Structure 1
């Protein structure tokens, strides 16, 4: 009988696991939050991922559980493990992607390079941090933020007054130094439960309004030392936190040539979409291999360069179908991926990949094809 992989969350990441699961001979099943989600083709259940009974019922019919997102509560995850369910990544690892304060403390224990940071419970503590860091800092909500949500640049303690008012007495916000960086990078590694690890090349990511807009692989102009350091950080975190599956480490390359860890994601990640068409083994296949404890695939790029451009918002009239013919005709070497989502300003509704030997040509192709869906 085929190995049954259950994915909690019905978004685009689960959707993009479907094709490689079929190719690997895996039986993929999805617990979607609602009807009609991106991964509806494999949705065998619809329900609340925060409800233990719902998740238990779903997990009963699969051999391994993995995730489209990191938001499943710890008590639910630990109950599954107590039931004997294989959960990858497990709750002990996933807690570091769920809570940024817990992550920062653990990375400090591992000696991983990261920005200066502190937990802050009130305006006085924030002001003290600002005074020690040039009058500017980044405040983050420890849990639940993504795509720029839950992140705020502050210049005075009152800039976070509303967040303090909403924070429980026994909880804290996270404050970090405002890093002067040259660019943002991302390092992806995959690790299977038996310990095998493999790494993709470090990539450059471009953010717009807190959302990843473009990715260039490998990071243009990256020196051999930078690539070794980034890969070393990824491997150290994967092993130190016990991650199983795909791990994305978001990085800052600073003006003084340091590399600092920004955030973590323990699942396929936007920074790795290029690998679907640009690597021997794409991140979605690799994640399935890893959580199923199968031998990992080759992450080597198929071409010298690859680029990914997100389709953000989508056509104003919502009609994707009318755009495909022109995009495909004009850019036959572009790979277009859409998520089955309705158009909405700022929403990730698809992406375009391109690969080749000339970086300028590759980037132009991806951008021009994506522009048809604006």
Structure 2
């Protein structure tokens, strides 16, 4: 009997699950937000994921339900569970990916290393935190932020005045961490508890958006790699995450490894695994949510580099630029998300691997630059 996995959300992450599902002989059923979504070729329903009745009608007969994003309301998730459906990760885990304040509280209870943080409900409370932490801090909206949205570096409480007015409840404030670099550790966990971990990777952020990923992270052997994996496994176990979990980390100037953010789904920092690992994060996620044996996570090449392609003004001939870049860089793999181009939006990525890190970085950056411009 063919197994069917339902995916709520029709974005590029659901799109990249389609070939993985095909290879596994698994059917994919996508609940998309709109016609023409990136994963529209697998959409079996189009509607409002905040409407429990619509989602329940779509979900009948699915063997497991997972997500392209973490924004599905708890009441909808609970309705699916009450209907006897296998929701993975479950609402009790996804809650900590939906609310950054709850996430910080839970990770603190687990004793995991984090930046110093606090909930703040007024400009005065934020000013006090800033004074105690060197004159600057990072303020985040607890819910809904991604790709740099919902995050501000501030030096006075007044700089977050609009958020205090618009956001119900307290904001999250964190110390402004002095870090050498950002890392990301992805693991997969089955409902039965089995784990698989990929090598820790280095991610480069520009304007709050992931720009490129190097796998494995240079100079991340021994202690750094061990600590990153230990943290991710502790998060997955402590929060009872099933499927792929990505933990974004800071490696600080004083050699600490701190948890920055987390995602309970395939993540931008893991796209390199499509070409660069024995098992891609998308195949592994499907295996995990179906409680199937997990695949190997070793690297196919000594180095793999993924570079995101960010959009520019619409109507600039993205298709022709892809074709030109393909001709110039035949060893680079190109991924288009079939999304309307606009400044700063992720519309695709490129990936390549090899023995010489400098050359691999050059090839990936050059190919991405050709597509973007």
The change in CA–CA distance for 1:292 and 1:157 in structure 2 (over 3 A counts) is same
Alignment equivalent of 1:272, drawn from 264, 270, 273: 270
Write the distance in 1 (CA, Å) between the matches of 2:333 and 2:287.
23
CA distance in 1, matches of 2:312, 2:297: 30
- Asked if residue 64 in structure 1 is aligned to residue 64 in structure 2, the reply is yes
* 2:246 aligned residue: 248
Give distance in 1, aligned partners of 2:322 and 2:130: 50
Q: How far is the alpha carbon of 1:316 from its aligned partner?
A: 5.8
Tell me the distance in 1 between the aligned counterparts of 2:79 and 2:31: 17
77-86 or 319-328: bigger deviation: 319-328
Deviates more, 1:125-134 or 1:345-354: 125-134
1:189-208 alignment to 2 at 5 Å? 189-208=187-206
Gaps of at least 5 residues in structure 2 are none
* 2:337 maps to which of 336, 339, 343: 339
CA distances 1:137-165 after superposition (whole Å, capped 9, x unpaired): 11100000000000011101111111111
Residues 287-328 of structure 1 show CA distances to partners (whole Å, capped at 9, x for unaligned) of 111011110010101010000000001576432321233222
Q: For residues 204 and 44 of structure 1, what CA distance do their matches in structure 2 show?
A: 36
State the alpha-carbon separation in 2 of the partners of residues 130 and 323 from structure 1: 46
What is the alpha-carbon distance in structure 2 between the residues aligned to residue 83 and residue 315 of structure 1? 45
- The whole-number CA distance in structure 2 between the counterparts of 1:66 and 1:338 is 23
Distance 1:86 1:149, change over 3 A: same
Match status 1:262 vs 2:240:
no
Contact 1:314–1:373 (8 Å) recurs in 2: no
Name stretches of at least 5 consecutive residues in structure 1 with no aligned partner.
none
Name the SS of the counterpart of 2:371 in structure 1: coil
1:217 matched to which residue of 2? 215
Q: Spell out, residue by residue over 1:251-292, the C-alpha distance to the aligned partner (whole angstroms, 9 max, x if none).
A: 000000100000010000000000000000010001111011
Q: Corresponding residue for 1:46?
A: 46
Give 1:331 shift.
Answer: 1.2
Where 1:111 maps in the other structure, the secondary structure is: coil
Asked if 1:230 is matched to 2:228, the reply is: yes
TM-score if structure 2 supplies the norm length?
A: 0.98
Cross-structure match for 2:316: 318
Taking the aligned partners of 1:182 and 1:2, their CA distance within structure 2 comes to 47
1:222 to partner: Cα distance: 1.5
After superposition, what is the alpha-carbon deviation per residue over 1:160-186, rounded to whole angstroms, capped at 9, x for unaligned?
Answer: 111111133xx1110000000111110
* Contact map agreement 2:313 2:343 (CA 8 A) in 1: no
Contact 2:147-2:208 at 8 Å conserved across structures: yes
Instruction: Name the CA distance, whole Å, in 1 between partners of 2:363 and 2:180.
Output: 25
Structure 2: distance between partners of 1:137 and 1:113: 18
Q: Equivalent residue for 1:22?
A: 22
Partners of 1:39 and 1:366 lie apart in 2 by 25
Q: Partner of 2:165 in structure 1?
A: 165
Tell whether 2:369 aligns with 1:371.
Answer: yes
User: SS in structure 2 opposite 1:87?
Assistant: coil
Cα gap change, 1:335/1:314 in structure 2, threshold over 3 Å: closer, same or farther?
farther
Answer whether contact 2:198 2:298 (CA < 8 A) is retained: yes
Structure 2 match to 1:281: 279
